[in-house]
Amino acid sequence: MALDLSRVKEREALPSRREPHWQRVRPGCFLGYRPSSREGAGTWIARAYDEDRRKYRLQSLGDFPGVPAREQFTIAKREAEQFAERVESGGHQRTPIETVEDACKEYAKANGEAASRFRRYVYADPIGKVKLTKLRRHHVQEWRTRLQRTPAKGKQGEMLSASSVGRQSAMLRAALAQVLAPGAPGTDAAWQEPLRRSKHDDRQRTLYLDREQRRRLLQHLRKEAEPFVRTLCLLPLRPGAVADLTVADFDKRTRELTIGKDKDGKPRRILLPPAAAAHLLEQSKDKLPAAPLFSRADGRTWTRDSWKDPIAEAVRAAELPAGATAYTLRHSTITDLVQAGLPLLTIAQVSGTSVEMIERHYGHLNAKAAADALAGLAL
C-alpha cells in the first residue's frame, strides 16, 4: 500500500530513520518526511529529478513550526512542487540557499538596489546567519528593532526614518518570500508579520510638491545638481534609474529614452515629451555615447549619498515641507499624471511599476479625476 503522508496518524507512526519516508507527488517530484528521533516535529524534504545532471536534488523544507499537523502536508506538497519546477526549468541553484543571507544574495542577483541595501542592513546583522528552516517571527522582529536604532547616514544624531525602515523591510520580505512560505498567522512561525507595511512606510508617497514648489526647489539647488533633479521633476523615474542613464540611452531622433537599469531589472523604452527631450538633448551635448547623461562636477555619477545633501539643502532654502526627497519628486510627477487622467496602464509603463501599485497608492486620485470629469457634465 502506497504511503500517504497527508494522514497525520500514519505519518506519526512512521519509524525514525536517516532516510526520509518518500511519497511520489508526480513523476520526478517526491515529498519526504523524516520523523524526529526525539520528541518533536519531524522534518519535510523535497526531492526533484534534474535531467541535465541526471541526478535527484534535495531541499529541506523544515518542520513548519506553529502550523497544525493536519495542514503541514498541503504546504509541504506545494513547496515540493515549486522546488521541482525550479529544478526542471534549470532555475535550481547549485549553491544551496540555506540562510537568510543566501536568500538575499539570490534575490539581489537581479536587483542592484537590493544588493546595496542587504550589504548595509542584513549581511552584517545576526539575522543573515539564521537558517531559513529555523527562521522565526522573533528573529525578524529583533532585526527590525535594530534597524530602527540604526543611525541615518550623514545625519548626526538621527536614526533611520520610518519610511526607510519600511523600504528595507519590504526588500527583505520580497527576498524571503521567494524561498519561504508564510508561517501560520499569530504564531512565532509567522516570520512575515514583522515585515508588513505600516502606515508610516509610505511617507514619501504622501508628501507632494506642486509645480511651483518644484520650481523653487530647482532655483535653490547647487548648479551641478540642477540637471539631475530637473529630470526627476520632468519624468516619473526612480532616482537610481536616472543616475544610471548614459548618452546612448537617449535617441534624439525619435525622442525615445531607454531605461536599462531599474527596480525590476528589465529595460524599457519611453517616448519623451518635448520639454524633457530638449533637456536631455542639452545634457548629451559633446559627450561620448558611453558617458553618463548626468554627472557631478568631478565627472562621477550621482548616487543616493551624493544627491541626498544637495536636495536637503535646497528643500530648507526654499522653505519646502521637511522630509522632501528625490523620491518625493517621482511621487509628485506620478500624482500629476494620475490627476491629468492618463490611463493607469500608461503611467505604470512609463514609471516602471505595476498597475496594482499605481492603484494602491494613487487610485483615490484617479477616482477624484473621474468624479471631477462627471461633475463637468452636469447641466
Task: Provide the pLDDT for residue 268.
Answer: 87
- Distance (Å) of CA 44 to CA 33, 75, 177: 5, 10, 18
Task: Enter the CATH code of domain 205-375.
Answer: 1.10.443.10
Instruction: Spell out, as residue ranges, where the chain has pLDDT lower than 50.
Output: 204, 370, 373-374, 376-379
Closest by Cα among 111, 145, 105 to 128: 105
For the entire predicted model, the pTM comes to: 0.55
DSSP string, 288-341: -TTSBSSB-TTSPBP-HHHHHHHHHHHHHHTTPPTT--HHHHHHHHHHHHHHTT
Task: Provide the pLDDT for residue 154.
Answer: 58
pLDDT above 70 covers what percent of the chain? 87
For 87, residues 6+ apart whose C-beta sits below 8 A from its C-beta are 48, 49, 50, 57
Question: Where does CATH 1.10.443.10 sit in the chain?
Answer: 205-375
Task: Provide the pLDDT for residue 69.
Answer: 86
Handedness of CA 177, 179, 184, 188 (dihedral sign): negative
Contact 23, 76 (CB under 8 A): no
Question: Where does CATH 3.30.160 sit in the chain?
Answer: 8-88
Residue whose grid cell is 524561498: 179
Task: Provide the pLDDT for residue 261.
Answer: 67
Task: Provide the pLDDT for residue 285.
Answer: 93
Task: Provide the pLDDT for residue 378.
Answer: 46
Assigned fold of 8-88: Double Stranded RNA Binding Domain (3.30.160)
d(CA 271, CA 251) in angstroms, rounded, equals 10
Task: Provide the pLDDT for residue 198.
Answer: 65
φ and ψ of 312, to 5 deg: -65, -40
Enclosing H/E stretch for 60:
strand 55-62
Q: Residue 329: is it exposed, middle or buried by C-beta count within 10 angstroms (0-12/13-18/19+)?
A: buried
Strand 250-251: give its sheet, edge to edge.
Answer: 250-251, 256-259, 268-271
Task: Provide the pLDDT for residue 94.
Answer: 54
d(CA 134, CA 62) in angstroms, rounded, equals 8
- Within 150-289, residue ranges assigned H as helices are 162-177, 203-206, 211-219, 226-234, 239-243, 274-284
